[in-house]
Each structure stands twice: as C-alpha cells, then as structure tokens.
Structure 1
Amino acid sequence: MTLLLSPDDAGIARAADLLRQGELVAFPTETVYGLGGDARSDRAVAGIFAAKGRPSFNPLIVHLPDLAAAEAIAQIGPQARDLAAAFWPGPLTLVLPLRADAGISPLVSAGLPTVAIRVPTHPLAQRLLRAFGGPVAAPSANPSGRVSPTRAEHVLDGLSGRIAAVLDGGPCAVGLESTIILADPDPILLRPGGLPVEALEAALGASLAIGGAADRPNAPGQLASHYAPEAGVRLNATHAQGDEVLVGFGPVKGALTLSETGDLVEAAARLFQTLRDADRLAGPGGRIAFAPIPETGLGRAINDRLRRAAAPRD
C-alpha cells in the first residue's frame, strides 16, 4: 500500500526515513512530482526503473539542495557555474562530468560519464532533501512514457502499490519538467522545459545549439514517444474532426483550453492536467486535438511535450 504523507514535519521525517531504507517516495517540485530514491543505492535506483517501467538506457536526474552538494558529485565548469548562480534553485537541470568518487549508482547515469543535476526551488522538496541528507534520483513519478504528474493524485493513479509513499504538496506551479542544458564547453539544449530558452541565452550571451537523440539519450525526456495519453493526439488544430476532443488556446476555443487568454505560463501549468482531462473525455479509442501554440518562451517546451505525446508509439 502506498502511503499519502502530509506536508508537515512528521510527513517529511517519514519520507526521509523511507528513502534511507531504500524505498521510493514521490515528492513535489515546482515542475512535476518526482519519484525519489537514494541515488547512491543500486537497489533503490533499480526500483525506480522497475516501478516506472523505464528503459535502463534512459538516465535520471539527481536532485540536491544546493550548489555545494552538486560540487561534491560533479565537476562544474565556468558556464555551468554561471547558469547555476543565475537559475538555481529552479527548473534548470545541468548535465555535468561525474566525479570518480561521487558514490552515485552507475544506473543513474546509464553508464555515461556525466550526471544530470537539479536544485529544486519547491520548499517541500528542499526540506525533504535536507532532511534526507543525500542525493536523490528522481524522474517524473508516472509510468514511463505516460503523462507527467502535477498532483499527488496523478502519482497514485499511475504508481499506487508500486512505491512506498507520496509526499503531498498540492499542485505543481510550473507544470513542465526542467530545461536540460549541457553547458560546457559550448552550451547545448538537450530538453526545453520550465525555464524559457530565451532566459538562458540572455544569461549566456549566446545562442543555444540543439542536441540529444531519441535512440541514445544523454538526458531524460528525449525519447521520441513520451508524455502520452491513451488517446491519439493531433496538433495545430483549429477545429475538431469527428469526435475529437479539441483543446483550445487563445482564440481557438475547445471543449477544454490551456489558456483562454493565450498565456503561456498558464498553459504550461495546466498542460498535463488538461491532457489527463481530455483523455478521460475522449474515452477508449478516442482522439484529442490541440490548438496551435507559439514556439516562443514556454511555448517551445509545451510543443516539445505535445509532439512527443503525438508521436507514433511502439
């Protein structure tokens, strides 16, 4: 049975104790709920892959409370340090060279010489990380390839009975997974996310190259088919075809909407809940159509998730 823990001192203490025992605990971040396990424990990390049904070649993100903790397990170059100073804590993941003495399970990095690290800003995540006192590997707390969870009930819908506990922190504010950057020597965008690319480019004073491959991921969130509901998905729709559930945005009206006013921040926060709601409305064998989203700011990350949700599935 999966416990639902309250966001108080007792709940945090219980969650930290479960992590020390090698158990899995889902917890809120500002982006989505993460499925946490002790990143130093082969057993715990293997449990994350098993609970999610996640392929073992897909690396995980390690969550830490601050830059000092990150420096203990990774080498941080000059551009990575500048980005950390500007955007940590926050929805930014940096892919960094792994220190030989880091003590991280090799399963976390999928055998790569790098490790993906994030410092979340969510106060409950911060309190849990500090109470636990070690690195926590935490992909999104959902079955692999399915819609990411932004509420505790979403976690339970997909993983109840497979994990020890969920620390309930209410809905996630950002609603999109973190932006992932390989910063040094030349900055490369591996996954758009909750931190707009424009903000990163302004901080770096340079444009970001695009990297990553679905067949050889060097960071999470690069698989071609991902974030998928049960229903089929069609993009850039201005009206519904047949029995499709149309999800609107701005001037395009639908049965549901990401944002009536065309606000990308609101759309990002509502994306995964709306995907779940549309999936229920569509029903078995149904289809969902999404209105066009601009490729600027958070729209780039929203479109990335929608394209992966619409991709052909194995």
Structure 2
Amino acid sequence: METKIFKPAEVAAAAAEIKRGNLVAFPTETVYGLGADATNVAAVEKVYAAKGRPSDNPLIVHVADEATVKKYAQPLPAPVQKLMDTFWPGPLTIILPLQEGALAPQVTGGLNTAAFRNPDQPATIELIKEAGVPLVGPSANTSGKPSPTLAEHVYHDLHGKIAGILDAGPTNFGVESTVIDMSTERPAILRPGAVTRAAIEQVIGPVDDQLHHVSQQEVPKAPGMKYTHYSPAADVQIVDPGTDWEAVIAWCQKQAAQIGILATENIIKRYKWPENVVTYSLGTNVKTASHGLFAGLRTFDLDDSFATILVQGFTTTGLGEAYMNRLTKAAGQHHFGGAATD
C-alpha cells in the first residue's frame, strides 16, 4: 500500500480515505494519531493490525464538537460539562459511560465506557467534520515505540501499512493528553498530561490518582497504562534530579558503544562530553523537555549504534508528572546508578 502525505489543503482527499474504511494519521496538539472511522468495525480492526496493538487496549475517540459526545455517551453531569467548557478543544481526554451499544467493543476494549477528546488542531477538526464520523486516534506508531511528534515519525513506523498521513508540521506539546475517568463516583486521573492535576482541581475539585501499572492480563481503562510503553530498542536510563553529572561522564568514558544523552541546554553546555557521547537538547525546562522527549528518543532509536540512552529526569510536579510518567515507562523503571525499581 502506498502511504500518501496530505497537506492541510488536502483534507478532503484524506477524509475520502477515511470514508473508504482506510487509515489516515492526523496531527493533534500532543502527538500524531492513527485515524479510522470509529463507527466502522473493520476500519478499527485495521488500526490494531497496523500498530501491532493488543485489541483489549481501548482507543480514544476524537470528536469535532460536544454534540458528538452526547450522541454516544450517557447524559453528561455538570462536572463533565465544566471540563469540556474549560479545556476543550485541548489535551484532555474524558472517560464516560456509554449508551448501550453506542460503540463497538473493538473501540472500547469490551468496556462499557469510552474515552473522548476534542483536539485543538484545526486541520484535524476539519478532517473529522469532512469524514462525518468520530475518529479513533491512538498514537500513530508501532505499539510500544515512542509516540510520533512529526509526520516523518509516522512514516518511519507505518509507511506501507496505512493510506495516508495528514502533515501539519510538529505537534505543540509532545506528550499525549491527560486522561481523566469521569465514569466513576469520584473522578480519577489515569494518565497525566499537559492539563495538570492542579488545573483540573480548580474546575471540579479533588480528583483521585490511579496511575497504577496494568498487568498483561488486566484490561486497561485508558491508553498508555501498560507497564512497558514508549520503549526504544536501546537501554534507557533516567538520570534523576540531583545526580552528579560528572559521575555520568565518567561512566560514559568506560563504555565501548555510543551513548545518547537527552538533557537540557544548561546540562549539555556545562560539561565536556566524551567522544562516544552524542547529546540531544531538551531545551530549557520541563515544558520544552516534554515537547522534545519522544523526538529525542526516536532520534537515537533510529541508529542502532546507541546501546544506552541517558535521559534527564525532573521532579514530578505540574507538567513534570506527565514527563516522568512517559520517561519512566520508556526506561522500564531503570535509573542511572541503580537497579530497576518496583
């Protein structure tokens, strides 16, 4: 299958592929998603096949407006409406109880809930409207690999497997949306993201934290809850805040293979790095680091000469919670200078 690249002016052509039951990757403000008609079971099954994704893993349903959500979900209580009014369009995914039989089990992972999102990306909103149906949109990468923040990342993983990619340039945030479960008695954040816990609690009050790891036997309620996720082929290690970078350099000097370093400009410019080290800038703070994390991991993942990737960690406050959630999964809990932790 030829994978076409569609520019924003070619949305109609991209939507035509969706209507034919084919797959088209699309940009959001977070990462690129792999789009298919959420009402077409055969199309949804193609998503799992293209990604190599377990079929019990639910898919986020991307909508162009709130009216579409109301078509599929049970009546929306006031707190849900407040979240939509405050954060949509934007990087917040809301899990809601469904009307009976509203969506196929291939979309929901067999659950009676579904995750809905209204992305803040004009080209994708136009694509959804033109297609006339909501779109499932898991990250447009091979399952388990770092999520794509550029159309080139999508092409690398999925060319020949999907009909097209709607290319609107790089994404803005770089980590996937926050997922909040509003189907339970007390709201719970299942995946941290660009919309922080503090911002949510200002709107609807206290929320629970259910950021637990999901076993292979357990059906996840939201994407990204599996224990191993976002993982490059190389060994990824977290360099925790407060670590002596001179010790990192001394360790690198003893290694025969190339080492990749993902760190902020301040760290990169402060030290003289060994010849076997290649650095990748994460910018100046946790916001820029969140934007560049997946792209940096992919840069080193595309070159099999890198045996190890060392990544700067941040404190788990604000956006740092989302950053460290993704990095911890990429590293499989492996921290520089110590064994893997439980």
Give the TM-score taking structure 1 as reference length: 0.93
Q: Does 1:293 align with 2:308?
A: no
Which residue pairs with 1:145 in the alignment?
A: 144
Letter in 1 for 2:287: V
Range with bigger deviation, 202-211 or 143-152: 202-211
Where do 5+ consecutive residues of structure 2 fail to align? 253-257, 274-278, 335-342
Match of 1:71 in 2: 70
What is the Cα deviation at residue 15 of structure 1? Answer: 1.0
- The one-letter amino acid of 1:288's match is I
Q: Which has the larger radius of gyration?
A: 2
Superposition pairs of residues 258-277 of structure 1, within 5 angstroms? 258-259=282-283, 261=284, 263-277=285-299
Task: Please say if residues 249 and 293 of structure 1, whose CA atoms lie closer than 8 Å, have aligned partners that are also in contact.
Answer: no
Residue 337 (structure 2) aligns with:
none
| Structure 1 vs Structure 2 CA RMSD | 1.8
1:257 corresponds to 2:278: no
- Aligned partner of 1:290: which letter? V
Partner of 2:158: 159
What does the per-residue CA deviation read over 1:180-207, in whole Å, with 9 as the maximum and x for residues that have no partner? 0012421101001121222112222224
Aligned letter for 1:2? Answer: T
What letter matches 2:25 in structure 1?
Answer: A
Partners of 2:320 and 2:300 in 1: CA distance: 19
Letter in 2 for 1:88: W
Name the SS for the 1:142 alignment partner: coil
- Work out whether residues 249 and 291 of structure 1, in 8 Å CA contact, stay in contact via their aligned partners in 2: yes
- Report the alpha carbon displacement of residue 272 of structure 1 after superposing the two structures with TM: 1.1
After superposition, the C-alpha distances for 1:19-72 in whole angstroms (9 at most, x for unaligned) are 111000001010111000011111000000000000011100000011111111
Q: CA deviation at 1:295?
A: 0.9
Residue in structure 2 matched with residue 193 of structure 1 by the alignment: 193
> What are the superposed Cα offsets for residues 66-107 of structure 1, whole Å, 9 maximum, x if unpaired?
1111111112222222111111110000010011252x2210
Distance 2:213 2:169 in 1: 33
Cα distance in 2 for residues equivalent to 1:37 and 1:280: 27
**What are the superposed Cα offsets for residues 151-185 of structure 1, whole Å, 9 maximum, x if unpaired?**
11110000000000001110001111000001242
* Cα displacement string for residues 270-302 of structure 1 (whole angstroms, at most 9, x for unaligned residues): 111111123346x34610011221211111111
Give the letter for the 2:196 counterpart: P
Q: How does 1:96-111 map onto structure 2 within 5 Å?
A: 96-102=96-102, 104-111=103-110
Residue of structure 1 equivalent to 2:82: 82
Match of 1:236 among 228, 235, 239: 239
Aligned residues: 307
| Distance change >3 Å, CA 246–CA 211, structure 1 → 2 | closer
Task: Give the match for residue 324 of structure 2.
Answer: 303
SS in 2 for 1:276: helix
SS of aligned partner of 1:130: helix
Under a length normalisation based on structure 2, what TM-score does the superposition of the two structures give? 0.85
- Residues 77 and 211 of structure 1: CA distance in aligned 2, closer, same or farther (over 3 Å): farther
Q: Which amino acid aligns with 1:113?
A: N
Match of 2:339 in 1: none
CA distance in 1, matches of 2:13, 2:212: 38
- What SS does the aligned partner of 1:72 have? helix
Gaps of 5+ in 1: none
Q: C-alpha distance in 2, partners of 1:126/1:226?
A: 28
Whole-angstrom CA distance in 2 between matches of 1:287 and 1:27: 31
Residue in structure 1 matched with residue 6 of structure 2 by the alignment: 5
Letter of the structure 1 residue corresponding to residue 177 of structure 2:
S
CA distance in 1, matches of 2:43, 2:147: 21
* 1:93 counterpart = 2:93: yes
Kept after mapping to 2: 8 A contact 1:187/1:208 = yes
Measured in 1, the distance between the counterparts of 2:185 and 2:84 equals: 15
Q: Distance in 2 between matches of 1:207 and 1:143?
A: 32
